Structure 1
Amino acid sequence: MNRKAPRRGIVQISEVANGLIDPVLARRAGINTMLLGSWDEIAGMDFAECTRPERITWPRRASEMAGEGEKYQPGVLTIACEGARALFLSHQQGEIVQRINGFFGFPAINQVKIVQKPVTPQARHRPKPRPLTGEAARHLDGLVEGIEGDALKAALTRLGTAVLGRRR
């Protein structure tokens, strides 16, 4: 038999990172990177910036200890929420549970536990890069000249300005 090794092709760094991070998150917090990445859509505009999922606690099954057939029980999602927004979030618990269960595709959560703590990282002041002048500006313009998309061209110009501006 002539067996060829499967070709992996191009693999995105996010897939590699998720493959490394997901088992750790699942073991320690019962969540995965897909949940964290989709949290803004799950929480909605009102709570996306002031909340984050912390962990899912699954109840211990009595059948595990007795060795009987498994009976599934939904877990408790712990959500970190900033300050007074926790009160508003508590009123929306039912909707959050429905959205989480819709995300998983089965009734994974039956309860939400809210803990008040800071969620947003403290923004560090980053100075804007100085505009490029002279040869550096011409070099950057030449590099992005063939880019067709305006948004992509603008993003690459910002990146190039930041990178080339540091060398001074």
Structure 2
Amino acid sequence: MTGPRRIGQSVPEVAGKVLGKRGLAFGALITDWPSIVGHQLSLRTAPDKLSFPRGKREEATLHIRAMGAIALELQHLEPQIIERINSFFGYRAVAKIKLIHAALPSAPSPVVRPRALTMDEETGITAATATVEDEELRATLERFGRSLMARPKRAAR
């Protein structure tokens, strides 16, 4: 053991293992995609793969996922996007873009926090489970009742 290391020293090693063949360049491209192409474009596109020619670490083909009409817009913006990517890396990392007509990876859904129960709701749950003799079962039913009551109400369809 050599002692404590700075996190920055460990990131390339760990990221290299996680990204595997895709490499650190692809990882940087993913994390900084919104700043490279702009917020609006980043919402409708996603880098999918960065393919370098055999034995080279420059002039790669960037595969971008896009759906529908945004693909046409990307074709028109291709020179500017390549220029922005290469400016980001500081060398001619990307030579061309290949569009993939596919759905974007889904964004994580927002976490919905349960609402606090009113005193009447708490009393109702306690009253509904009062006749259950087994304490463990009663406690489980009360927790279940609270979780059901705390859910946000769904709109009528």
| TM-score with structure 1 setting the length | 0.57
Q: Larger % of helix: which?
A: 2
| Compared CA separation, residues 18 and 82, structure 1 to 2 (3 A) | farther
- Counterpart of 2:5, as a letter, is R
The Cα offsets for residues 59-118 of structure 1, whole Å up to 9 and x where unpaired, read as 125xxxxxxxxx775111111112211111111001110111011110111111111111
* Equivalent residue letter for 1:8: R
Q: How far apart, CA to CA, are the structure 2 residues paired with 1:18 and 1:133?
A: 51
**Percent of counterpart pairs with the same letter?**
28
Partner-residue secondary structure (3-state), 1:6:
coil
Say whether residues 1:38 and 2:32 are aligned partners.
yes
Task: Kindly state the Cα deviation for residue 120 of structure 1 after the two structures are TM-superposed.
Answer: 4.5
Deviations 1:105-162 (A, max 9, x none): 101111111111111416658544203678xxxxxxxxxxxxxxxxxxxxxxxxxxxx
Match of 1:100 among 77, 85, 93: 85
In the alignment, structure 1 residue 75 sits paired with structure 2 residue 72: no
Matches within 5 A, 1:114-129: 114-121=99-106, 124=109, 127-129=112-114
Which segments of 5 or more consecutive residues in structure 1 lack a partner in the other structure? 62-70, 135-164
The structure whose Rg is larger is 2
Alignment RMSD (CA, Å): 3.5
* Structure-1 residue corresponding to 2:127: none
**Equivalent of 1:54 in 31, 48, 56:** 48
CA 1:53–1:125: 2 relative to 1, 3 Å: closer
Seen in structure 2, the aligned counterparts of structure 1 residues 88 and 116 have a Cα distance that, compared at 3 Å, is same
Report the CA distance between 1:43 and its aligned residue: 1.6
1:1-168, aligned counterparts within 5 Å? 5-8=2-5, 11=7, 19-28=13-22, 31-61=25-55, 73-121=58-106, 124=109, 127-131=112-116
Task: Give the alignment's TM-score, normalised by structure 2.
Answer: 0.60
Size of the aligned set, in residue pairs, is 122
Cα 1:89–1:19, aligned 2, differ >3 Å: closer, same or farther? same
Q: CA deviation at 1:5?
A: 3.1
Q: Are the counterparts in 1 of residues 16 and 24 from structure 2 also a CA contact under 8 Å?
A: no
Q: Distance between the aligned counterparts of 1:53 and 1:94, measured in 2?
A: 16
Where 1:54 maps in the other structure, the secondary structure is strand
Pair 72,58 (structure 1): closer, same or farther in 2 beyond 3 Å: closer
Residues 78 and 97, structure 2, Cα contact 8 Å, conserved in 1:
yes
